[in-house]
Structure 1
Amino acid sequence: MRKMKLPQGVGQVYKLKGTRRNPYIVRKTIGFEEVNGKKKQIIKTIGYAKTYQDGFNMLMSYNSDLVKNPNETKVVVTPECKYKFKDIFDKWSKDFFPTTSKSTMNGYNAAFKGFVGIHNKLFATLKTRDYERIIADSGKNYSTIRKMKFLLNMLYKFALKNEYVDKNYAELVDISKYSNKNPNKRDREKFSKEDINKIWAMPESDSKTITLMLLYTGTRVSELLDLKKKDVNLKERYFNVVESKTAAGIRVVPICKKIYPYFESWMNRNDNELLFENKNHDPLLYRFFRDNYYEEINELLGTNHLIHDTRHTFISMCTEKSMNETVLKKIVGHANAQSLTERVYTHFDASFLVEAVDVLD
């Protein structure tokens, strides 16, 4: 179909720059607002199309729907609903973030970035189809998509409470079709004995020592990086995990003799409250450890291990040494794998756990 100049008020279909799956954008002016004393158009993006013909048909279909529902063309922008999507997020997060954990904040900030295409759109003009279109084009896995919908629900709950909108368009967003979508999923792969020997042979570094400490304790990386010196007992060779994502995660973790020198070194390195610090002498955060320390080990090995592979490897090494299954569950904090009897009645002295892990080589 030959491109044509459409009559005023019908809308626009034009091609975007760059290589895109759907290069044609379909837009229409749906109202006006006053900004600094000047009238400004409120432009709604209806969608994206593969060809001009598809975009034209989309626009005509949209206009046809407006004939049936003429009130949708009349957007009255009150001072309260002049806020853009990013403004609503900023207002909501200012209230919510001080009441939640840092990891939760990071999750919602990441979800917010997923909506970058509508950050500057007026919140009151966005509809369910706008959000579904963003999600469909995001390429994110289901876990991230679900967090994006959680964020939308939180924003609408906030906006309804403050009367910025009168309807929750997030509740109708359907993400069920993405439930099996996880393009970033990788199977767990334990470190080979050859890889572990290569790590031991590496020159001494923080990357090496912390990776080995993960491999020989079986702790989750957050449990180790959040470890406080007061919770480490060098004399008895164990440490206490006092914060974990599960109740069974609150436990005693033995320090095998093979990595004891590393715990001793970190305990005596500084006077900080936490056991670990980064190169700038600040607390060692997960992202910094992953991007700077752990990736260095992967590069030297020529591997692509996930951090959780260290925990998987510890369990495998203990199993190979015929460690008692109940003892192993206690050490790694596996709640779901324990029977009721194991959870309630089985208690082990720290020295017994230390003796159990000393078989690792």
Structure 2
Amino acid sequence: MKFIIKDYELYLKKEKGLSVNTITSYLKDVNQYLIFLEKYHEIKKPRHLNKKTLSNYLKNIKDKYEVSTYARKLTAIKSFYNFLLIENEIDLDFAKDIETPKLPKNLPQVLSVEEVSRLFSVIDIETVYGLRNIALLELIYGSGLRVSELLDIKLSDIHLNEGYIKIIAKGNKERVVPISPMAVYAIRRYLIKSREQLLKNEKSLYLFINNQSSRLSRQGFYKILKGLAYDANINIDISPHTLRHSFATHLLENGMDLRTLQTLLGHEDISTTQIYTHISNKRLKEVYNSTHPRARKEEENV
């Protein structure tokens, strides 16, 4: 059945508009399923699929993986069966009614405002790398970008005089994101004093460049951030998404409404944005317990 995988990949890309990472993950999971079908059931055509073979496969993988991994693999398979039905490769979608396990919602970690300030303070803005790094942080924290959105920004996407950038978000959808005056200033300094030195007479369409004169990678930014967190004595397991979470939480704590935050973050469903209300409530309780004298006394008596 591998002949149909190319068509499925095109469907995920063109029809569903999924990101490259999601498509790669789906294809890997579906290929694993197809290998199982050929090896243990000698099924090579979609018409030969049946409910029992799918059930056997799911039983086979359920105990091998964590719930989150199993749920992801099942989602990929359900998507594949839906595609086969659309293409009239099968008459019945055996995966449609299989229930995906509910995952526990873990609240993402966020930095305090003071920790964010420490992160910025350890950057040496007298160096070409420091100028780039301050621009990176001002933009990802100041605008709440996903790391892929940040690193995919091209020079043609930035409009510093107007104070906004164009972002290509999930599903290849475009959105306009405001940028703060501090980010505008940091980007201007980076463009004038740093970027050309990093390029070393090479050319690039992308805003952020590494020391090889190429687009800065996710791994490269992750290493930069981990190094800054170490220098700032921040002890949580920080990632680029931590800054996006912190951006959202700090805005809510300062009175932003949920709908506006949803637009800024580029969430299609407001339920995705609502997780930040839980974070804010949790932080509010922590601040209360650590500052109110009666709250501290209660803790001591417990």
- The bucket for the TM-score relative to the shorter chain is 0.5 to 0.7
Give 2:101's aligned residue: 179
Indicate the structure (1 or 2) with the bigger Cα radius of gyration. Answer: 1
Aligned equivalent of 1:194, options 114, 138, 143: 114
- Structure 2: distance between partners of 1:111 and 1:294: 31
Aligned in 2, Cα 1:116/1:294: closer, same or farther, shift over 3 Å? Answer: farther
For the 8 Å contact 2:155–2:205, the answer to whether it is kept is yes
- The structure whose residues are more often helix, as a share, is 2
Aligned equivalent of 1:148, options 63, 67, 76: 76
Name which of structure 1's ranges 291-300 and 98-107 shifts more when overlaid on structure 2: 291-300
Q: Which amino acid aligns with 1:244?
A: A
Aligned in 2, Cα 1:209/1:246: closer, same or farther, shift over 3 Å? Answer: same
Give 1:135's aligned residue: 61
Deviation, 1:187, is 0.9
1:302 aligns with 2:235: yes
Deviation, 1:229, is 1.0
Deviation, 1:330, is 5.4
- Structure 2: distance between partners of 1:273 and 1:207: 18
Give 2:166's aligned residue: 240
For CA contacts below 8 A with separation 6 or more, give which structure has more relative contact order: 2
Give 2:25's aligned residue: 107
SS in 2 for 1:129: helix
Q: Which amino acid aligns with 1:111?
A: D
For the 8 Å contact 1:239–1:255, the answer to whether it is kept is no
Deviation, 1:144, is 0.5
Aligned in 2, Cα 1:262/1:112: closer, same or farther, shift over 3 Å? Answer: farther
Give 1:316's aligned residue: 249
- Structure 2: distance between partners of 1:291 and 1:325: 29
SS in 2 for 1:283: coil
- Listed one character per residue, the Cα deviations across residues 317-350 of structure 1 (whole Å, up to 9, x for unaligned) are 334555687766654456666xxxxxxxxxxxxx
1:123 aligns with 2:57: no
Give 1:281's aligned residue: 213
TM-score (norm 1): 0.51
Give 1:5's aligned residue: none
CA RMSD of aligned residues (A): 4.1
Give 1:263's aligned residue: 187
Q: What 5-or-longer segments of structure 2 have no aligned partner? A: 271-302
For the 8 Å contact 1:112–1:151, the answer to whether it is kept is no
For residues 45-124 of structure 1, the aligned pairs below 5 Å read: 88-89=1-2, 91-98=3-10, 100=13, 102-112=20-30, 115=33, 118=36, 121=39, 122-124=42-44
Name which of structure 1's ranges 322-331 and 143-152 shifts more when overlaid on structure 2: 322-331
Give 1:355's aligned residue: none
For the 8 Å contact 2:143–2:177, the answer to whether it is kept is no
SS in 2 for 1:198: helix
For the 8 Å contact 2:141–2:247, the answer to whether it is kept is yes
Aligned in 2, Cα 1:108/1:315: closer, same or farther, shift over 3 Å? Answer: closer
Aligned in 2, Cα 1:219/1:159: closer, same or farther, shift over 3 Å? Answer: closer
Q: What 5-or-longer segments of structure 1 have no aligned partner? A: 1-87, 338-361
For the 8 Å contact 2:204–2:214, the answer to whether it is kept is no
Deviation, 1:214, is 1.0
Q: Which amino acid aligns with 2:9?
A: F
Aligned in 2, Cα 1:334/1:93: closer, same or farther, shift over 3 Å? Answer: closer
Q: Which amino acid aligns with 1:260?
A: V
SS in 1 for 2:181: coil
Taking every aligned residue pair, what percent have the same amino acid on both sides? Answer: 18
- The structure whose residues are more often strand, as a share, is 1
For residues 17-56 of structure 1, the aligned pairs below 5 Å read: none
For the 8 Å contact 1:238–1:254, the answer to whether it is kept is yes
